[in-house]
Each structure stands twice: as structure tokens, then as C-alpha cells.
Amino acid sequence: MLQQISIYLLKVTCTSGLLFLYYQLALRNKQFHYYNRFYLLLSVAVSVVLPFIQLQWFTFFSSSPQTIHLYNIMYGNGEDDVTVRGSSALNVEQIALLVSAAISFCLIVVLCIHVIKIKRLKKKYPVQKLPGFDFVNTDISAAPFSFLKNIFWRSDISLTGETGKQILRHEITHIKQKHSWDKIFMQLVLCFYWINPFYHFIKKELFLIHEFIADEKAVERSDADAFAKMLLTAHFGKLNFLPAQSIFYSPIKRRLIMLTTSKKPGFSYLRRILVLPLIASLVCLFAFTVKNKNAVASAPIIKAARPFVLVVDAGHGGKDNGAIGNGLNEKDVTLKIAEKIRSFSSQYGINVVLTRDNDVYMSPQQKSDFANAQHGDAFISIHINADENQTAQSGFEILLAKNNTQTSPSTVLGSAILQNLQTDFTVTQALLQSVSNVFVLKNSSTPAALIECGYLTNTNDASTLKDDANIELIAKNILKGVAMYANNSFDKSNLYQLKPAAKDTNAPTQPKLDAANKPIYVLNGKTITESEMKAIKPNDIESINIWKDKDAIDKYGTKGKNGVVEIRLKQGIPAPPPPPPLPAVSRDTLSIINPSANNKLITEDGRYLTTENNKTLIAE
């Protein structure tokens, strides 16, 4: 979030800086005040809105991952970061956002106070209704000034003299031209974009232009003597009533120069018309797209020669996020890849069926049953790897079941897909046998393979997966491999050898009943069981903090070695009641419970039971 806001503010600052630079070079101190007023207001509006617009008029191709990654950062194509909390309650990003919001709030309060002061002045002094405005006769030193449709006059300035009439015309001009709305607009913009220095310069210039316009109307024939007398009629006030319009706001020298300078500057028309190509150029800066050159390279499409049904499983989903790293959730990326495979499948003559097409949880058993019920010709499961201890590890991997009736055709399927993926991505040059015997692969009635599309914990792999062009390329390579498998048209002399995987993957496995390696759960400072945690309603949760490794051990001792999930409920929400105690049962009924060490037994929800006199007793 902080990165996106910072990049947006940088775009706003650069855009406003370029527009203000043109004003300084071509328009400043020129006698087209109405145009300059419009230009400065437009500069603010354009610089605020333009960075939000993502036009795609021009496309540039690049094979450089750094260029593509930089484009994704600049144009906000990356995913929001997911913060895993460590030892502090607030991180730097949150503190920066809070400080920025606090400053904006204070500036809004100050603006409101100024407006309230002006409203109170109107109530304090007599008001005379005149055509087009209200005349408020005061004795304050800051007068005369105007705000909206109100002129605050000072009683010691005569309205019958020529100078008094000039001052009155000056303030009436401000009212007729609605200059107060310009001031309110700029003050509000600065409340939120206070960090942009060019907006402060634009505000100063805009307020000066207001005075130039009013001076022209107030002083006939650009009479410098009359202008001097108008200003000397009163002295400078001590109070600042922004966003009110004070006659003494701006430097007298510039106002006098503008009053007496030529009204026909050189290249007048050209100066104003050249702003159009300038704005067009700025729009073009936000109207190009960078795409992966490899991802869009034209390649022959191989179609399956016979009707072919491919079941595609998007790993994880719903309450099961899968791996998390570099701002990505595995369940989201796998679904995006699966949907891309389905969207391009008709081009390859393949009918794709997804186990899930939204963010829903399905158990491995449910996915396996669904896939087998489709009577497809092949099954693939899409996953993303993660390795917290070796973040340098990267690349694609393809896993097969250790024990499966379809081992031989699965090897052919995995080899065909791997051969196509390696043309564009780094892959492990072997088919891996899953050590944990992935449930959806083991129980598949058709040839099956699990594809690990890189490592979320690796920065380069994560950057690849954030690029839609690369997601499209992954999907097309997989479909090409499946089509070649269907046609038996790939190089079968180069079948990859099977070897055991170096480690268990994060793919869904048959559910384990052993809870020895599960994290502990802490609700409002009190340790709870997993079943109590599952009973919490998501809408009742205010925050969830995850403590890992050394941070978890430092805070919770050795019992936090496998991680700690801290849950805090919203104020006033009571903790759910604990589950009822398990009844004492004989050892004969414990067939669903796995035996553990030290004569203990462990239930599926992670609670320990001990045996005594052939009876089972709960030991929390």
C-alpha cells in the first residue's frame, strides 16, 4: 500500500512540476490572466487524475525481466504486499500512513477553523444586503477582504471617495469571478497533497492572478497613481483569513508591473496553444504498455488430434491460502493460471474442466472425487512452491505420485509438459516423485502430474508470476505439452527420469492426524485449541498476527517453536465457548486415532488423550 501511494504521489509531483515549468517559461507575468487562471487550475486537476488513468495506446516489447518488473511497479500492476508481523505491533509502512493521515487531518481542521472565523465575523457585525453580495461593515484591521458572496469592509475607509470605490470594485470582481472557490479548491488539494512542493507554488501564482484580474477592473486605464492610492488608503492587516480574498495579499511590485505592462505579449497565441501538445505528451506517458517479448512471440499451436478432456486443479483455495511470499498468495496465482489454461484450451483442441473456478475450499478427497467423476483423459494440479530457508531456490518442478496405477502414462504426460515449459522458464531437469505421496495424484484414475510453477519465496520467480504475460505463457506451454501428449507427437526418446523429491512440497496431501507440528493459537492473550479457533466467526475478528521462528520462541518459549497465531476479537465480542469434553471410551473404539509416543493418543483436532485402566481420559 505505501509503495503504491508513494509511486502515485511521485507521478503527481512530476506531472505538476512539468506543467508548472511550462507556466514559468511561457505564461508567467503575461497579460492573459483568465487563461493563466484556467491553466493553473487545469494543471492541478490533470496531475491528480492522470496517474490514475491506465490507457494502453502503445505497446513496447522487452525480454528484460528488470524492465518488465519496473513497469509493473510504476504502473501498479503488482499485488498488494502481505505483511507477516514480527516483533513490533506497527511497521514502518503503517506509521508513515498514520503520520500522513494525521497531517492531512490537521490541515483540514485548520481550514475549517478559518472558515468558521469568517462566518462568526459576519454574525458579529451589521450586514447590508446589496445586489449580488452582502456588505459587512467591520472595524478589524484585516479588512477589506471578500469571501464567497460577502465583502468585509473597514469602517474608516470612505465609500464616497474614488479610492474607496476602486477598492469596492476590486472586491466585487473577486466575487463575480468566484475566486473564493479557487482558493477553497487549492486549500483542499493541499490538505491531501501537502507533500507536493509544486502545488504550493501553483497556489501562490493562482492567488496573484486573482489580484491581477481584480486590479484591472478596479483601476481604470491602468493608472499606476490610482493603484498606489488604493493600496495606501489602508495599512496591512495583522490577521490572515485564508481562504478569504484580501486586497493586500500579493507583492505590490508585481501587481504594479502587471497593471502597466503591455497587453499584447509576443507570441501570445503560440504561448497558449503549445500547452496542448504538452498535455498530450503527458497523457502518452501513461498510455503505453510493456509486454514480455517471449510471452507474445508467435509459435505454432498444436491441436489435439482427438477429443481430449483435461481436468485442471487450482491448488488450495478458500481458507487454505497455500504458500505466501513477496506479496502473493498461492491460491490466487494457481487460480489465475488455471483460468488462463481454460481460456486458451479451445485453441489447442482440449476441453478443460476446473476443480474450482473461484476462491472456495475443497478437501483433497473432494478434489480427487470430482476429478475422477469427470472421466477425463489427464489430470494436472497447479501449485507454487515455497522455501523459507533457501530463498535462492527457484524454478519449475513437476511431481508424480509415488505409487499409482498410471505411473507410466503419467511419466509421459509430465515429460511432455516439462519439455515445453523449459523453452521459456527454468525447470528442474527431472520428474520428481512426491515423498509425501500427494493425495490427488495417488488417487487419480487418469495420468496425473503436479506442476510447481516456481517459488513464491524467490524474488525473481514471484516477479514472473506477477506479470500477466508470463501467466499466459505458462498456460500456453502447459496446453501445448498436453496436446503433444494427446497426439504422442513429442520426443519420447527424451523421457525424463523419475527421482525422489528432495523435500515435501506444500501440495495438498492426505490429511494428517498428528498435530505435533501445528502452531499454537492465542485468542485475546489466552491459548486455545485448534477446534476452538475454527469456531471463531471471521466477522468477529479484529486482527490476526503471525509470529514465526525466533520471534515466536522469544515471546512464547519453546511451545512457540512451530509458530504462533495471535487472534484478537472485536471489542465486545465474547470468546466462543470451549468444545465439550470428549467422553471416556475404551481402547477398542480408537481406530480413528493415531497412536503417539509415551502411550499418548492424538485426536484429529490436536488434543491429547492418555489411557488408564483401559479407559481413555482427556489430558489438555
Which tens digits make up the pLDDT trace of 568-594? 888 878 877 766 655 544 444 443 344
Longest dimension (CA), the chain: 114
556, 520 Cβ separation under 8 angstroms? yes
- Kind plus residue range of the DSSP H or E element containing 228: helix 224-232
Whether residue 306 is predicted with pLDDT greater than 50 in this model: the reply is yes
* Phi, psi angle pair for 428, to nearest 5°: -75, 125
Measured at the CA of 582, the angle between CA 579 and CA 587, to 5 degrees, comes to 155
The dihedral built from the CA positions of residue 64, 68, 69 and 73, taken in this order, carries a sign that is positive
What gap in Å lies between CA 89 and CA 86, rounded to an integer? Answer: 8
Between 218-232, 240-254, 581-595, the lowest mean confidence (pLDDT) is in: 581-595
To which residue does cell 463575480 refer?
A: 176
Burial class (CB in 10 A: 0-12, 13-18, 19+), 368: buried
504 within 8 A of 436, measured Cβ to Cβ? yes
Grid cell locating 481: 505439452
| pLDDT for position 254 | 72
Determine the residue type at 464.
T
CB 205 within 8 A of CB 28: yes
Average pLDDT score, the chain: 77
Per-residue three-class SS string for 371-387: HHHCCCCEEEEEEEECC
Cα–Cα distances in angstroms (integers) from residue 576 to residues 179, 530, 541, in the given order: 60, 12, 12
Would you tell me how many other CB atoms lie within 10 Å of the CB of residue 361? 12
Which residues, including other chains, have CB under 8 Å from residue 299's CB and lie 6 or more apart?
476, 480
Name, in order, each residue with C-beta under 8 angstroms of 344's C-beta and a sequence gap of 6 or more.
472, 475, 476, 479
| Predicted model pTM | 0.46
- Comparison of pLDDT for 219 and 447, the residue scoring more: 447
Query: Going from the N-terminus, what domains does the chain have, and what CATH number goes with each?
Result: 294-500 (3.40.630.40), 520-569 (no CATH), 587-618 (no CATH)
Give the Cα separation of 515 and 563 in Å (integer): 13
Q: To the nearest whole percent, how much of the chain has pLDDT over 90? A: 33
| pLDDT tens string 350-392 | 999 999 999 999 988 899 999 999 999 999 999 999 886 655 7
